[in-house]
Amino acid sequence: MEMKSITIVGCGPGGEQYVTPAARRAIEEARVLVGAARLLEMFPESGAERIVVTADIPRVLDAIADRYQENQVAVLVTGDPGLCSLARPVIRRFGRAGCRVIPGISSVHAAFASLGLDWYGARILSAHDTAPPMEPAALAADDTIALLAGNPANAGWVEALTATLLASHDIFLCENLTLPGESIRQLTHLTTPMKLASRSILIFKRKEDHA
């Protein structure tokens, strides 16, 4: 297979033991690492040049463009690249054919696994978008929802969704999964304002849908 010089690497939800051997190998082979500071810190042994990702994504893409024809570039993302990650703008700029993607263990995988729950058919939503995903009432018919909730921008909407589904669904707050401060608990009532860690997932599971 043709060697691609941009590799997007899923680094898992945070714990070192959740970084796959394939991800470690891609990082070892890279001459340039691109990623959030806390992801770069996970790989101190790499002697590669490091480009820290900030909110200025066009600058990051330009930095990759300046380097990828001469160097193996690894773009590190949290969890899996296919879920709300830097993979999307990178692939939009450099093309699918030019990028290799190494899957990672998503925080959503980790959340369902920590609860022992099946996630077939789950709707996956993000509170990261500038606008809330949809009216909470429109989600009442869903049996299983995973909400990437680690962003206070839509805190009011997250509270409204929790209030709407509290009677029909069991609601679990999973924070800092696989990390030392991991916390997994069921929410039995709504306290406002809801305090959510920056790494938080809410799982909504219809009550009669699981044991």
Of the candidate residues 5, 7, 8, 13, the single one contacting ligand SAM (CB under 6 A)? 13
Closer to ligand SAM by CB, 31 or 57: give it.
Answer: 57
Which residue has tokens 């570039």? 73
Longest dimension (CA), the chain: 57
Scan residues 78-137 and list those touching ligand SAM (CB under 6 A).
78-80, 83-85, 106-108, 128
Across the strands, what pairs with 175? 183, 200
Please give the structure tokens belonging to residue 152.
Answer: 């206070």
Separation between Cα atoms, residue 33 and residue 31, nearest integer Å: 7
CA dihedral (96, 100, 104, 108) in degrees, to 10, reads: 0
Count residues near ligand SAM (CB under 6 A): 26
Report in angstroms how near the CB of residue 165 gets to ligand SAM at its nearest.
17
CB of 5 within 8 A of CB of 71? yes
Site string for ligand SAM, 175-194 (x = CB under 6 A): xxxxx---------------
Closer to ligand SAM by CB, 199 or 205: give it.
Answer: 199
Which residue has tokens 């700029």? 93
Report in angstroms how near the CB of residue 55 gets to ligand SAM at its nearest.
12
Binding residues for ligand SAM (CB under 6 A): 13-14, 77-80, 83-85, 106-108, 128, 148-151, 174-179, 199-201
